[in-house]
Amino acid sequence: MKLVLKLTNEEVKRIVHFYQDYHADSKNESVFFLAKTDFVTVTVYSTNKVQFQGSDAKEEYTMWCHMLGKELPTDNDVKTVTKTSNDYYEVSIGSDEVGTGDFFGPITVCAAYLNKEAVSFVKGLGIKDSKKLTDQKILQIGEQIKDKVTFSLLTLHNDKFNDLFEKGFNMNKMKAYLHNKAIASLVNKLDHKPKVILDQFAEEKLYFSYLKDEQPVYRDIIFTTKAEDKYASVAIGSIIARYAFLKHFDLLSESSGYDLLKGAGKKVDILVSQIIKEKGEGFLRNIAKINFRTISKAKELI
C-alpha cells in the first residue's frame, strides 16, 4: 500500500525530525529524505510529497493526518481522535515520555494521576507551558510535585534499550511497552479507573499492534497529540519523566567521566568522536542509543 501527503516545508521538517533515527540512504536524486522502520518506509521527495509504504503505511499516514490537521481518507476503519474536554485541570491520568531524541541517556516514561485534591497545588506551579521550562525549573518543580501526586515511572537504560533494538524493537514499540506498563501499574495503585490520556506518538491501531504479545494490555486510553498542552495530568507526567531523565543524565556524565550533551547534532557528533578515539565504540553501549546515526557521523569525523 502506498499513501501520499503533499506538505509544506515546515511540515516536511516535522516528518524528517520524527523519523531521523531511521534514516536510510537513497540513490534517487528526487528523494530528499528516506526512512525505513520494521513496519513502514517513508519517502520524502524534493517536491514536498511524502509517501508511506509498507504493512503499516495506512496507520502512519493516518497518524500524520491527525498531527498535521489534514483531511482523512474516507474509510470506516479510520478513527478520528478528538479531545473530549476543555478542562485543562481535569481529573485524569496522563502519560508522556522523555529522552527519545537524546543520543546519550535513558528513556523515561511517567504516568501521573491528577486528582481533585492536587489541582490547586498544580495550578500554582504554572506548568501550562511546561515545554518552555528550563532544566533547572524542571528540577525544582519535579522535586515538589513528586510528593504531591501518585505516579508510575519507568526508566529504560541504554544497555537495555540497545538489547531491545538488536532484537528488532523500534523506538515506538519500546515506547508502547513502557507506556502500557506505566499506565497499568498506576491504575493498579488506585481504587478506581480515571480517564487515561496518552500523548500520541502512533495511531491507536498501530500502538496496540506493538503490544500484541504483551499481557495485560490497558486499552481504555484517549490518544491525542500535544496532550501536555491540553491536560495538566500529561504535563505532570512529562515533568516527572524529565526530572528523572535529568537525574539519570547527571549520574551518567559522572560515571562516564565525560560532560555528556543532551539531544543530538554536530556538538554531540564531535563529543562521540572523542569518546570513540579514547575509549572505543563499545564504551557507548551503556551510555548511548547505538541506533542513532550519531555514531556513523562521529566515525566520519575521526
Q: Closest Cα to residue 276, out of 262, 256, 247?
A: 256
Half-sphere exposure of 172 (CA within 13 A, CB side): 23
Lowest mean pLDDT among 69-83, 136-150, 265-279: 69-83
pLDDT of residue 73: 55
List strand residue ranges (DSSP E) for 160-265, in order.
196-199, 222-224
What is the overall mean pLDDT for the chain? Answer: 89
Nine-digit cell string for 284? 557507548
**Above 60 in pLDDT, residue 79?**
no
What is the pLDDT, as a whole number, of residue 223?
93
pLDDT of residue 29: 86
Band of pLDDT at residue 157, cut at 50, 70 and 90: very high
The CA-atom distances, in angstroms, between 267 and each of 61, 119, 272, 274 are 33, 41, 9, 11
Over 60: is that where the pLDDT of 86 sits? no
Span 116-124, average pLDDT:
91
Q: Quote the pLDDT of residue 185.
A: 97
Average pLDDT over residues 114-134: 86
Residue 221 above 90 pLDDT?
yes
Mean pLDDT of 223-234: 92
pTM of the predicted model over 0.75: no
- 195, burial (CB in 10 Å: exposed 0-12, middle 13-18, buried 19+): middle
Of the pLDDT bands very low, low, confident and very high (cuts 50, 70, 90), residue 208 is very high
Measured CA to CA, the distance from residue 47 to residue 9 in angstroms comes to 10
Residues contacting residue 94 through CB under 8 Å, at least 6 positions apart = 111, 112, 114, 196, 197, 198, 199, 227, 228, 231, 232, 233, 234, 235, 236, 237, 238
Distances (CA, A) of 216 to 177, 189, 212, 222, 227: 11, 15, 10, 18, 24
Domains along the chain with CATH numbers: 2-68 (3.30.310.10), 92-252 (3.30.420.10), 263-301 (no CATH)
Task: Supply the pLDDT for residue 72.
Answer: 62
| 58-77 residues labelled b (16+ CB within 10 A) or e (exposed) | bbbbbbbbbbbeeeeeeeee
Percent of the chain with pLDDT over 70: 94
How large a percentage of the chain has pLDDT more than 90? 69
In 10 A of CB 17, how many CB atoms? Answer: 10
Place of cell 496518552: 198
**What backbone phi and psi angles, to 5 degrees, belong to 52?**
-110, 125
pLDDT band at 39 (very low <50, low <70, confident <90, very high): confident
Please tell me whether the peptide bond between 216 and the residue prior to it is cis, using omega within 30 degrees of 0: yes
pLDDT of residue 82: 40
Find out whether 298 and 276 touch, Cβ atoms under 8 Å.
yes
* pLDDT the model gives residue 84: 42
Query: pLDDT band at residue 77, thresholds of 50, 70 and 90?
Result: very low
